[in-house]
Chain A
Amino acid sequence: MAKYKTAPLKTWQKAKEIRANYYRDYEAAHEKGGLRWAGGAWTFDAIPAGLGDDVYPITSEPYGATVAFQKDFSDRCLEAAERAGYARDLCSYMRNYWGSILLDEYGWVEPGEERKPFPKPDFVWQDHICCSHAKWYQVVSDLEGGIPSYCVDVAVGPYENTTEHGIDYVVGQMHDGIEWLEKTTGRKYDDEKLIEAVYNTCRSESTWAQICALNQVIPAPLEEKTMYSLYVLGTLQKSSKDVADFYDELKAEIEDRVASGIAAVENEQVRVMTDTQPPWGFLRVFRYLAEKYGCVSVGSLYTFALIGNWIWDEGKFVPRPTPQSQGVEIKDRDQALRVLTEWELSKPEWQHFYHPKYKSDMMIQIAKDWKLNGVMLHYNRGCEGLSLGIAENRLAILEAGFPVMIFEGNMGDEREFDEARTMSRMDSFMESLDVPKLQ
């Protein structure tokens, strides 16, 4: 007899469609006279939106994860990158992405169809928050025959120390970038589309954070494995109206689940969070935890705040209200860029690049407010950026009184993840938390 009632998400199919259409639209952009661009999930994607509605992005981290999920294809991509001379300890998303270009094979495959050639982007639009981001697209540009590339440097944080000069520095690059986009594409830039995309960005990010905040309740209405498939839409195109609208719809559904006591894990008896990207080819470890122990991973700073935007408010970690909800009306390009810059620079996942203490503070607050029994940290060999300072985070969380388990792995390179040993380690962790096995 289950402890809680559970039900599949009604919006699940729509999330899948948005993701599928994203990769289809990117691939078919040229057939419709449109443009393709490539950049990271962290990039200011609202800005290329001003080039028109037929300009389609491919963001590299979720693309790398999509490749990683297809283990055979990923192995071929990784080996192709290694054969080309790139070291095995580089970002595994990056190696999957480069390998896909080198093999000229697209990571998105329609059911029943052959794998297609990798659709070459027309230009690169990127920013530099992670240590790999800059060189990633320099190589992409080289591999794709020298496609034009523009990068925005955002190293003006941490947010609590951001100055007007720092904002000016980023906004100045954005203004130059818009001129570069017009020159590179031959298109006239539309500020109204930019403004709408900035509003959408803020709406997507605030709403996703509100959805994650609903997971504080017991039983949790969402578990992290499902959340990965939902938050990813924001990493694909947070500035898109479809994504922002979807999150509104999802939030309404999650509110209903909370009101009705619908659980993600029907026998929830222990709550944990993780950190950084999971080993994408092995998400079944979450199902194992749920089925064997009634363990729900309620999320992580990564799932909450790579896309979600949060602020500290009287010692609590809460979803950041959108500028538009605070009465901000964007009237011109410069204001749109300033709002976008200030908004993005405040995102939690941008802060730990400056010092692990920012991340520790947020993780400890999550552990308290989401009522966690323990924390499982992924020492992710595939991502130097998000693993930066994770050992310090572990110590801080332990000191705050939360048990921590670590496991080593790699988000995008299955060769560096030992599933059996990781599951055994999870068994040990559950035992140490006195969690009884479900019969």
Chain B
Amino acid sequence: MITTGIDVGAKNVKVVIQEDGKILGKGLVLAGLDMEGAIKGAMDAALKDAGISRDKVEKLYATGAGRKEVTDADDTYTEVGADAVGTVYIFPQARTVVDIGAEEGRAIRVDKQGKVVDFAINERCAAGAGAFTEAMARALELPLEQLGPLSLTSTKAVPMNAQCAVFAESEVVSLIHQKTEKQDIARAVHDAMASRITSMARRVGVEPEVALIGGVANNPGFVDSLQRDLELEVLIPEDPEFISALGAALLAAGIAK
């Protein structure tokens, strides 16, 4: 059975098309203001990648903050549930899922069936989400892709507070004025964010193994900071930003419940 999962996130729309648990195609489009266009664009990209037409898709489930925008969805599922299903499908041994997207960070404790046992979500602050690293990269006048690799070259831990993205940005500016090396500031940004995420994950209980998904999992600097803070290695799937969409597609297929 061919099914599709659409994850309408705060920044990107991600689509996964699967058949019997095998991924046939993926699509990703920047969400922007034209949500309808982005959903169609991501869907078209995934269909093209899969080499099939829309009528071959038997069921479509939507997830993500903007899931209600998917008007032709057969059903919707929350990103917490879809994260859990998608992650445990890829990593059956995972018992804790950390998902960090553009505007939201989540920690989810799951059982072996991928059922949510407990979850925590960051509140009204971007300090624990991808938007935070974007803002800090801007303050450092660096492309976002360079922030992670640069921080890996740091040899010095600089304390920084990430309780608020706005305050953290002014702290970064102060560090720049103090002539702190850029790589040390980059690491400070990731350490501070990792500390916030770890604290949230501990609220639900960090049970190994821990999987990290969401777009921020592509940032090696953050991954390094998180692993140091959690004192364990995290599992990172290929294409971590598509896991929620995968979970929705699996739910649509009835492969997961």
Nearest residue (CB) in B for A420 is: B65
Say whether A418 contacts B124, CB under 8 Å: yes
Question: Which of the candidate stretches B48-56, B112-120, B189-197, B213-221 sits at the interface with the other chain?
Answer: B112-120
**A421–B115 CA distance with the chains assembled, in angstroms:** 21
- A269 to nearest B CB, angstroms? 18
- Is residue B105 contacting chain A, with contact meaning CB distance below 8 A? no
- Is residue B166 contacting chain A, with contact meaning CB distance below 8 A? no
- Pick the residue among A403, A406, A420, A424 that contacts B78 (CB under 8 A): A424
Q: Assuming A398-B118, A403-B118, A424-B65, is B81 touching A431 (CB within 8 A)? A: yes
- B202 to nearest A CB, angstroms? 11
**A421–B64 CA distance with the chains assembled, in angstroms:** 11
With a cutoff of 8 Å between Cβ atoms, the chain B residues found around residue A403 in the complex are 118
Say whether B78 contacts A428, CB under 8 Å: yes
What is the size category of the interface that chain A forms with chain B?
Answer: 10 to 19
- Is residue A416 contacting chain B, with contact meaning CB distance below 8 A? yes
Say whether A416 contacts B124, CB under 8 Å: yes
Secondary structure at chain A's binding surface: helix, strand, loop or mixed? helix
**A92–B218 CA distance with the chains assembled, in angstroms:** 41
- Is residue A21 contacting chain B, with contact meaning CB distance below 8 A? no
- B114 to nearest A CB, angstroms? 11
Say whether B116 contacts A428, CB under 8 Å: yes
B residues 54-85 with Cβ under 8 Å of A? 65, 77-81
With a cutoff of 8 Å between Cβ atoms, the chain B residues found around residue A405 in the complex are 119
- A166 to nearest B CB, angstroms? 37
With a cutoff of 8 Å between Cβ atoms, the chain B residues found around residue A406 in the complex are 120
Say whether B124 contacts A408, CB under 8 Å: yes
Q: Assuming A408-B124, A416-B124, A418-B124, is B118 touching A428 (CB within 8 A)? A: no
- Is residue B145 contacting chain A, with contact meaning CB distance below 8 A? no
- Is residue A432 contacting chain B, with contact meaning CB distance below 8 A? yes
Say whether A432 contacts B80, CB under 8 Å: yes
Task: Digitize A398-438: 1 where CB-to-B-CB distance is under 8 Å, 0 elsewhere.
Answer: 10000111101000000010101100110110011000000
Say whether B124 contacts A431, CB under 8 Å: no
- Is residue B123 contacting chain A, with contact meaning CB distance below 8 A? yes
Task: Digitize A25-63: 1 where CB-to-B-CB distance is under 8 Å, 0 elsewhere.
Answer: 000000000000000000000000000000000000000
- Pick the residue among B78, B121, B123 that contacts A431 (CB under 8 A): B78
Nearest residue (CB) in B for A415 is: B124
Say whether A431 contacts B80, CB under 8 Å: yes
Say whether B116 contacts A431, CB under 8 Å: yes
Say whether B123 contacts A432, CB under 8 Å: no
Say whether B65 contacts A431, CB under 8 Å: no
Selected A-B contacts with CB under 8 Å, 26 pairs: A398-B118, A403-B118, A405-B119, A406-B120, A408-B123, A408-B124, A416-B124, A418-B123, A418-B124, A420-B65, A421-B121, A421-B124, A424-B65, A424-B78, A424-B79, A425-B121, A428-B80, A428-B81, A428-B119, A431-B78, A431-B81, A431-B116, A432-B80, A432-B115, A432-B117, A432-B119
With a cutoff of 8 Å between Cβ atoms, the chain B residues found around residue A431 in the complex are 77-78, 80-81, 116
**A398–B203 CA distance with the chains assembled, in angstroms:** 11
With a cutoff of 8 Å between Cβ atoms, the chain B residues found around residue A424 in the complex are 65, 78-79
**A418–B77 CA distance with the chains assembled, in angstroms:** 20
